[in-house]
Amino acid sequence: MLLLNRVAIITGGAKGIGRGTAIKFAEEGCDIAIVDISVKEANETLQEVIKKGREGLAIECDITDGSKVRDTVNKVINKFGKIDILVNNAGAGSRGGGRTSPIRSMAEVTEEEWDKVVSLNLKGTFLCCKEVVPHMKENGYGKIINVSSLGWVTPPAIAPHYHAAKAGVIGLTHDMVGELAPHNICVNAILPGPIRTPFYNGMVASMTDEEKDAFFKAVGKGVPLGRVGTPEDIAGVMLFLASELSSFVTGASIIVSGGLPMRSTSAFAMADMEQN
């Protein structure tokens, strides 16, 4: 097992990429703290972790609130005595777990929405790192994985607040490397491409199941590998970065996108053409 007796915090761990990662880590021997604003779904994911024979916690937390993040980290330390892995996965295109579309023109993005999206995606990542890093330094070991987005490299649609925040995650990742490397703490980022998760709920919520399948099939036509990704596709790369397989990897930004960006026509544009 690649993560035997390790302890991980996974933010946004209740569903999508976070849920897939929690299950994958548990299969590899890791105990998991699932941190999410949706405690009901976090508990459902926790049951999957327990089925794999591992221990865990489901913790309701708004990661944009420093005091709540601190309390969450303390709960994990009190339960497990350490934190080996931090996966900063929580994020959304619009505040509220992706229930509304992130697509906005510059003129449409309100100041309030900008603040909320940047706070969730960038400030939340910073706060979680801020509270976890001292414990990792004390133990002389750590793996931090920050989730950015392919969108900050090649925006597939107009979403300035979201893409700016995800670009900031890369800047934060690189900044942490020099400080933390002497403490045997590796910091890396994953940039997912189109992955079928609740992130798309704002675009597909009103569709039938058949229409949703057609939408994602159309998006997949814009991907060199011919399909959209799954949470399990990202979880495999998470496992690599969380394990000793990547002991000499820090400061990396790994694109997991089925080959994007390699075509001038974006996946979203391809989907739009197919739908019209």
Contact, 42 vs 72, CB < 8 A?
A: no
Domain boundaries, the chain: 7-199+229-262
162 is a catalytic site residue = yes
| Percent of the chain's residues with pLDDT above 90 | 79
Q: What is the pLDDT of residues 72-129, one digit of tens each?
A: 999 999 999 999 999 999 998 764 434 345 667 788 889 999 999 999 999 999 999 9
Beta bridge partners of 185: 142
Spatial CA neighbour of 228 closest among 194, 198, 252: 194
Confidence of residue 217 (pLDDT cuts 50, 70, 90): very high
For residue 198, is pLDDT > 90? no
Question: Which of 80, 162, 200, 215 is an active site residue?
Answer: 162
DSSP 43-92: HHHHHHHHHTT--EEEEE--TT-HHHHHHHHHHHHHHHS---EEEE----
- Average pLDDT across the chain, whole number: 90
Q: What is the pLDDT of residues 219-266, one digit of tens each?
A: 999 999 999 999 999 999 999 999 999 999 999 999 999 999 865 444
Just give the CATH number of 7-199+229-262.
3.40.50.720
